[in-house]
Amino acid sequence: MGNAIKFRHTSAPRHPSETARIKIVKGSDYGTIFILTGARATIGRGDENDIVLSDLKASRLHAELIFNQNNWKIKDLGSANGILWNDQVKSVSDLKPHDTVSIGETVFEFFTPDVHMSVLEAPAREISNIINEQSNLSLRKAEIRALAGVKNTEDKKRGKNLEKTDLFSKKSGLIGLVVIIIFLVLFLNPQPEQKNLVLKNKTDEIRDLASYLPESIPTAQDKTAEMYYRSGFREYREGNYLRAKTQFETVLQILPGHRLAGIYLEKCESSIKEEVRTHLERGKKSFDSGKLKKAKGHYEAVLRLLFRDQTSKEYFEAKEQLEKLVIHE
């Protein structure tokens, strides 16, 4: 007990001693975050656990998370209902970022500290979105394995054909030499028109080969990410930076490598900081000039902007000023 810190709100900043974190994405504890600060943490319904669940279908001592040899594992501790790792029954399994674990009616998503900060601080996702993402990833892996199998088959056929070609070449070496000599004599200095014709034929051949390449078809995951990105960009353009930030964070949860979402997320965070600074300055001026109602509006705006960062000094400053306003009213 004591190897995990519980946060009831939907996001939490990176902890200095953080070794991993889990986000509850389904169940009675939905939205809760547990930050692990050690190499081991137990999970269950009992109060003696590091991670205490209110799920009645979880055993009193259900499972444990163990860090060993640069790798995290989840291990069942003889629970009544067992555990599911990515919807597969497992007694012990390795854990990677974005893996899901089901305990009773509770499902949590696992993260390591090396995951992008925007993903760590993002609100817990809906379990349906996570399942769709895992399904799409499994399909893509299956497609890659299938393509690899086709390639291996083609390579074997090509090897057999090469063996036949080598045998034929040995038998007809003299004929080939004669053909080469004739070719050099007749076509050593081709006319410009002939050179252009040869170049054109090669270009057409390359285009014909390119037509056999598979088209890049956007997956359901790509389409969902693009939908959230467009929504976030609209909010950003209209100056609704807090809403835009949430949309861009969702994009990065779906596609962590989305470059534009990462860029605009940083722009949103910078704009929010600037708005907070402006509201604090105007709130102070309004308070000093006796305009208490205006001052209250500015400080409340700061609390709305920083509702997911309630440990910042700006949040405490606005809260303190609001308490002073209550006394003066």
Per-residue pLDDT reduced to its tens digit, 304-320: 888 878 888 898 898 88
* CB distance 271 to 297 below 8 Å: no
**Sign of torsion over alpha carbons 245, 249, 250, 251:** positive
Least confident among 94-103, 173-182, 224-233:
173-182
Q: What is the pLDDT of residue 224?
A: 85
Helices (H), 104-126: 117-121
pLDDT for the residue 149: 57
Q: CB of 251 within 8 A of CB of 129?
A: no
Q: Which of 321, 328, 329, 326 is nearest to 301 (CA)?
A: 321
Confidence of residue 327 (pLDDT cuts 50, 70, 90): confident
> 84: which strand partners?
89, 102
Residues 6+ apart with CB under 8 A from 214: none
Residue 141: is it exposed, middle or buried by C-beta count within 10 angstroms (0-12/13-18/19+)? exposed
Separation of alpha carbons 11 and 118, rounded Å = 10
Q: How many CB atoms lie within 10 A of CB 27?
A: 21
The CA distance from 40 to 33, in Å, is: 17
Alpha-carbon distance 107 to 89, whole Å? Answer: 14
Assess whether pLDDT exceeds 50 at residue 208: no
Number of Cβ atoms within 10 Å of the Cβ of 14: 12
HSE of 273 in the Cβ direction (CA atoms, 13 Å)?
8
Taking the C-alpha atoms of residue 261 and residue 248, their distance in angstroms, rounded to an integer, is 5
- pLDDT digit string, tens, across residues 100-158: 999 999 999 999 988 877 676 666 666 666 666 656 555 555 555 555 554 455 555 55
CA angle 190, 192, 195 (to 5 degrees): 65
Range 261-290 average pLDDT:
91
Residues in Cβ contact with 100 at an 8 Å cutoff, skipping those fewer than 6 apart: 25, 85, 86, 87, 107, 108, 109, 110, 127, 130, 134
Least confident of 19-23, 152-156, 273-277: 152-156
Q: What is the pLDDT of residue 206?
A: 43
Which residue in the block uniquely carries the two structure tokens 């353009």? 237
Residue 262 contacts residue 252 (beta carbons within 8 Å): yes
For residue 217, what are its two tokens? 């078809």
Count CB atoms within 10 A of the CB of residue 1: 12
Contacts of 6 (CB under 8 A, 6+ apart): 32, 33, 34, 51, 52
Residue reference for tokens 């499902």: 107
203 pLDDT tier (thresholds 50, 70, 90): very low
The angle that helices 127-171 and 220-237 make with each other, rounded to 10 degrees, is 130
Structural tokens at position 61: 């001592």
Arithmetic mean of pLDDT, 284-308: 88
Amino acid at residue number 74: I
* Amino acid letter for position 279: H
Q: DSSP assignment, residue 311?
A: T
Beta strands 106-111 and 88-90: pairing type? unpaired
* Cβ atoms of residues 53 and 42 within 8 Å: no
